[in-house]
Amino acid sequence: MQFKDKNFNLYLSRNLFSSYYRELQPFLLRMLRYSRLCLIKKNRILLLYIQIAVAKYLTGCYKAIQDGKGKIKRLKNKIKNETNQQKKVSLEQKLEGIQIRLFAHKNIVRIIKTIIDGIVWRNLNFDRSILRLIASNRKTGYIDINEPGFRGVLNIAKSMAWHRKNVVIINDL
């Protein structure tokens, strides 16, 4: 993945040492470890609950990304209209902080999606034709675990895993 932002190295260095990444690191490492376990292929319930946990994290990240984009847009307008140089500098610093957090959320989404792709890849026995078929669907956009449509998908997935004893892979992740 290429980053268009010219401040990539600055954002990366600030994010790697931020408390936000340190707080999420145990979850990300746990998901990475789970993705490598053979147990996931044999335990349809564990696979489903990993996907639900990921959906919850993605919902939070996507909400933060949407909020961050709105804040950035508003701050840029304020900066453009601000005449007081001292306030302008303060607003620019605030803008940079929001841009760094936005960058963090986008990276966390990328990391989580990479881990989930690995889980799917292993559960489909490395079958490229099935992966291409799944990938050919339209992009779903932001995931919101609280949205009625996605809740319906989760309910169907739970029913299939529990009652029909099927392995379920939620394609929207």
Q: Where are the domains of the chain?
A: 21-65+104-162
pLDDT at 7: 63
C-alpha distances (whole Å) from 81 to each of 76, 85, 95, 107, 164 are 9, 11, 14, 31, 60
pLDDT at 69: 94
Question: Could you tell me the pTM of the whole model?
Answer: 0.76
pLDDT in tens, the chain (173 residues): 445 556 665 666 665 556 666 777 788 888 888 777 777 777 888 888 888 888 888 898 899 999 999 999 999 988 888 888 888 888 888 888 888 888 888 888 888 888 888 888 888 888 888 777 777 766 667 788 888 888 888 888 888 888 888 778 877 66
